Amino acid sequence: MPDAVRTAAVRAVLIMSLTIIQAMVAFLSTLTGSWLAFPMVLSSVASTVVATWAVLDVWVTRQVWNQRHGVVSEPSSTARQMRRQRRRAQRAARAAERDEAGGRIRGRRNAGDHSRTGDLSRTGDLSRTGDLSRTGDLSRA
């Protein structure tokens, strides 16, 4: 909270607390029938107006501050910056991993693709490899 808004808020809280105390004194003096009851009721009404003005002052001061200085949200901008740094580090780590293991991944992909490599022993079609004894088809031998 900016200093101007904080000052207005503290002032409003003090005025409201004094108004509540004054209203309680007015109520209790009215119950007892004291001569102080009438002046306290009048001053409580005036204090209520001042307390309302103090609360409005906090609201107006906050609006003026936001209009002049913009909404300052340091924690969220800091968190946003940290997220950006973390994402950059993750991207860099993935890129380094990709560069480091790039050839091996492609080789693995090609080795697993049986139609390109000619390695038919993995597909189960051993009749073309020349090892006919394992397939059970001995008529071609």
**So what's the pLDDT on residue 67?**
86
Tell me which residue of 137, 5, 132, 113 sits closest to 58, measured CA to CA.
Answer: 5
**So what's the pLDDT on residue 83?**
86
Could you state, in chain order, the average pLDDT of each consecutive group of 10 residues for the chain (141 residues)?
A: 86 95 95 93 94 94 86 65 90 91 58 52 51 52 50
Write the Ramachandran bin of 99: left for phi over 0, alpha for psi from -120 to 50, otherwise beta. Answer: alpha
**So what's the pLDDT on residue 29?**
95
**So what's the pLDDT on residue 76?**
61
**So what's the pLDDT on residue 100?**
85
